[in-house]
Chain A
Amino acid sequence: MTLIDLANPTKFLSLTARVLPWLAGATAILLLIGFYQAAMAPDDYQQGATAKIMFVHVPNAWLAMFVWGVMSIAALGTLVWRHPLADVAAKAAVPIGAAFTFLALVTGSLWGRPMWGTYWEWDARMTSVLILFLMYLGLMALWRAVDDPSRAARAAAVLTLVGAINLPIIKFSVDWWNTLHQPAAVLRMGGTSLDKAFLIPLLVMAVGFSLLFVTLHLAAMRNEILRRRVRSLQMMQASQQAA
């Protein structure tokens, strides 16, 4: 089966139906190993056990940006190649990416609480993640605001690519803004160099969460394809009854 066959939604459905249980299994195993290793890892000398939230926070933050990258590639698929599955891939990824971003915010906030004394401090990295979250929400609103799926896909594709271009600019600006207003930044998250004991669990968690994204994404894409089929059938029924 060649790669181009994947473009066919029916083939995609049958392929993912076979692959998905294995992916789900692999995800579960990796995450279990990761959580176990994280629990077994030594406490940070400065932050104590709370530093272990990092094992969830860092992969989620990384995924938040990675998912936007996946959506950008899907956006190119929609605009440049008009690939049939690109629309579906883009739409399915948005809520998942938003969820990862939200988790990154929550875990980051909980991590920071013992250090800062507040649940939120406008530090550069967390603020960038917050803006990314707003952009995800805006994109979700855009998808819902347009009825016609193909027009929605194209509008969302443009916004996704514009967002992708702007993300480095926003990150740079927020970093700059932060140093301007807090010249005496004391504790930085993840600032200390990572010990090997921390690195392996972190990598396992990163791969585990990435697999989680792939699993959820493929499942969501399947649902979206089925949803569109229902819509087509309903439209055909409507035009038949009118005739």
Chain B
Amino acid sequence: MTALAALIRRDIKIALRVGGGALIGVLFFLTVTVLMPFAIGPDLALLTRLGPAILWLGALLASLLTLDRLFTADHEDGSLDLIVMGRAPLELACAAKALAHWLAAGVPLIVATPVLGLLLNLDATATSAVALTLLVGTPALTFTGMIGAALAVTLHRGGLLLAVLVLPLSIPVLIFGVAASQAAITGPLSFGTPFSILCALSLVSLVVGPFAAAASLRHGLD
């Protein structure tokens, strides 16, 4: 177990120290949220209605773009070879890296949500609803996106192709994340149903993601 804990600790340390890492995701989140009113117009009522959707889209894009380097950084300096040769199963090592990424890059997005909610004229209920769904949903985004990140090692270039591959897989999370937020705000439907489905999606991705990523990495190292 110390092996995986060491991996998580290392990844978080690097994410916090290297300039680009974690906070650039929050900056991107902020930028996208700020862009929306320019496209939609400063109609506060409209922004309030679209608020949860805008925040979810921003969080989705922000986590996707920061996942690019999840495995390629280790591949480039030879660390990935050694991780594959370690005593920890590759699936767990992948899961550990994804967890570290979520802690370093995903959680700041959730923390930033209340501030961004202000920009979009969301009240406290709405903001907490969005933050809660993001808390439960961003792991799904990270653990689904890691599959693309692992494929990026084979591709030698991530970027747009990575996004194209991963975004269709993220659609269910987006649907239920926004639906749960909306349900908490306006409430034609109970909050519980979409929220539990969102939790289920996260749990499924916690299993499928590491297995798929490990499979890609093993075969991509040839």
| A contacting B, Cβ–Cβ less than 8 Å | yes
Partner of A79, one of B147, B189, B197, B215: B215
Q: Which positions 167-215 of chain B face chain A at CB distance < 8 Å?
A: 167-169, 171-172, 175-176, 179, 189, 194, 197, 201, 204, 208, 212, 215
Of B165, B212, B216, B220, most buried by chain A (CB within 10 Å of CB) is: B165
Number of interface residues of B (CB under 8 A): 29
Interface positions of A from 149 to 173, Cβ below 8 Å from B: 150-152, 154-155, 158-159, 161-163, 165-166, 169-170, 172-173
- Report the minimum CB–CB distance from B28 to chain A (whole Å): 22
Q: How far is the CA of A166 from the CA of B173 in the complex (A)?
A: 11
Judge whether B147 and A162 touch: CB under 8 Å: yes
Residue of A nearest to B222 (CB): A151
Closest chain A CB from B198 CB (angstroms): 10
Is residue A137 contacting chain B, with contact meaning CB distance below 8 A?
Answer: yes
> Within residues 127 to 170 of chain B, which ones have a CB less than 8 A from any CB in chain A?
147, 150-151, 154-155, 157, 161, 164-165, 167-169
Q: Is the CB of B219 within 8 A of A173?
A: no
Produce 1/0 per residue, A124-167, CB < 8 A to B. 00000001001101100110011000111011001101110110
Decide if A154 touches B155 in the complex (CB within 8 Å).
no
Of B168, B171, B201, most buried by chain A (CB within 10 Å of CB) is B168
User: Closest CB-CB distance, A79 to chain B, in whole Å?
Assistant: 7
* A66 to B188 CA separation, bound complex (whole angstroms): 37
Asked whether A180 lies within 8 Å of B179 as measured between CB atoms, the reply is yes
Q: What's the Cα separation between A7 and B189 when bound, in Å?
A: 54
Considering the complex, give the chain B residue whose CB is closest to the CB of A181: B179
Interface presence of A86 (CB below 8 A): no
A151, A162, A177 interface centre (most CB from chain B within 10 Å): A162
Contact assessment for A146 and B154 in the assembled complex, using a CB-CB cutoff below 8 Å = yes
User: How distant is B157 from chain A, measured CB to nearest CB, in Å?
Assistant: 7
The CA-CA distance from A180 to B219 in the complex, in Å, is 41
The distance from the CB of B49 to the nearest CB of chain A, in whole angstroms, is 13
Give the contacting residue for B171; candidates A145, A152, A165, A170; CB below 8 A: A170
Q: A161 touching B212 by the CB < 8 A rule?
A: yes
B212 contact from A162, A172, A176, Cβ within 8 A:
A162
Query: How distant is the Cα of A141 from the Cα of B168 in the complex, in angstroms?
Result: 14
Given A142-B155, A154-B216, A180-B189; A159-B165 close (CB under 8 Å):
yes
Chain A residues with CB under 8 Å of B216's CB are 154-155, 158
Closest to A171 in B: B172
Select B175's contact among A134, A155, A159, A173, beta carbons within 8 Å.
A173
Which secondary structure dominates where chain B touches chain A?
A: helix
Which residue of the partner chain A has the closest CB to B153?
A155
Bound-state CA distance A166–B147 (Å) is: 13
Q: Give chain B interface residues in 83-139, CB to chain A under 8 Å.
A: none
Q: How far is the CB of B137 from chain A (nearest CB, A)?
A: 13
Q: Within 8 Å of chain B (Cβ to Cβ): is A174?
A: yes
Known contacts A151-B220, A158-B147: A165-B172 contact under CB 8 Å:
no
One of B169, B219, B222 near A158 (C-beta < 8 A): B219
Contact A145–B219 (Cβ < 8 Å): no
> Chain B contacts of A151 at CB under 8 A?
154, 219-220, 222
Known contacts A158-B216, A173-B172; is A138 also within 8 Å of B154 by CB?
no
Q: How far is the CA of A155 from the CA of B167 in the complex (A)?
A: 17
Q: By the criterion CB–CB under 8 Å, are A165 and B155 in contact?
A: no
B168 touches A131 (CB 8 A): yes
**What residues on A are CB-neighbors of B154 within 8 Å?**
146, 151-152, 154-155
Contact B208 A162 (CB under 8 A): yes
The answer to whether B175 touches A174, judged by C-beta atoms less than 8 angstroms apart, is yes
Q: How far is the CB of A177 from chain B (nearest CB, A)?
A: 5
Residues of A that sit less than 8 Å from B by CB: 79, 131, 134-135, 137-138, 141-142, 145-146, 150-152, 154-155, 158-159, 161-163, 165-166, 169-170, 172-174, 176-177, 180
- 10 A-B Cβ contacts within 8 A? A142-B165, A155-B154, A158-B216, A162-B147, A165-B208, A166-B169, A169-B172, A169-B204, A170-B172, A176-B179
Given A174-B175, A176-B179, A176-B194, list of 7 further CB < 8 A pairs?
A138-B164, A142-B151, A150-B222, A155-B155, A158-B219, A159-B165, A180-B179
